[in-house]
Amino acid sequence: MRQVKHLLEGKGNAVYAIAPEAPVLDAVRQMAERRVGALVVMKGERLTGIVSERDYARKVILQGRSSAQTSVAEIMSGEPLTVSPDTDVFDCMRLCTDRRVRHLPVVEGARVVGVISIGDLVKAVIDTQAEQIEQLQRYITS
């Protein structure tokens, strides 16, 4: 099965980050501009959390807080689940399902080298299944 490093080769390994002291409004703007559902929260080179649209909806909007006056640190999920580039795609899917998360930072050593989403994982599984079906069809017709 494919590994996380193969997904990053295909989608790219851009890491969109924000500082924990930044206002939530900056995080929401960056997510909208980059068309992503989450940002890793970095203090220098160190991963300190992850902030998602879900965090924003539940911890700012529903609680009537100010996006401009609430810091990312106040709403982020601290100590996020991470995976390595060698992690199997199915293991990532299991992790996302079991822990009810949608984004996984990819960490190599102490460095964040990418982020994968549940959408990336689903696409990888669909692509793999399509390849297997095509191979079986060729085998049957040959």
Give residue limits of the domains in the chain.
Answer: 4-141
The CATH number of 4-141 is which of 3.30.465.10, 3.10.580.10, 3.40.50.1460, 3.90.1150.10? 3.10.580.10
- Residue 130 confidence (pLDDT): 87
- Residue 84 confidence (pLDDT): 97
- Residue 1 confidence (pLDDT): 65
- Residue 141 confidence (pLDDT): 87
| Alpha-carbon separation of residue 4 from 11, 25, 41, 88, 104 (angstroms) | 11, 31, 21, 6, 10
- Residue 92 confidence (pLDDT): 96
- Which pLDDT tens digits describe the chain residue by residue (142 residues)? 689 999 999 888 899 999 999 999 999 999 999 999 999 999 999 999 999 999 999 999 999 999 999 999 999 998 899 999 999 999 999 999 999 999 999 999 989 999 999 999 999 989 888 888 888 898 898 8
**CB 86, CB 40: distance < 8 Å:** no
Q: Enter the pTM of the model.
A: 0.87
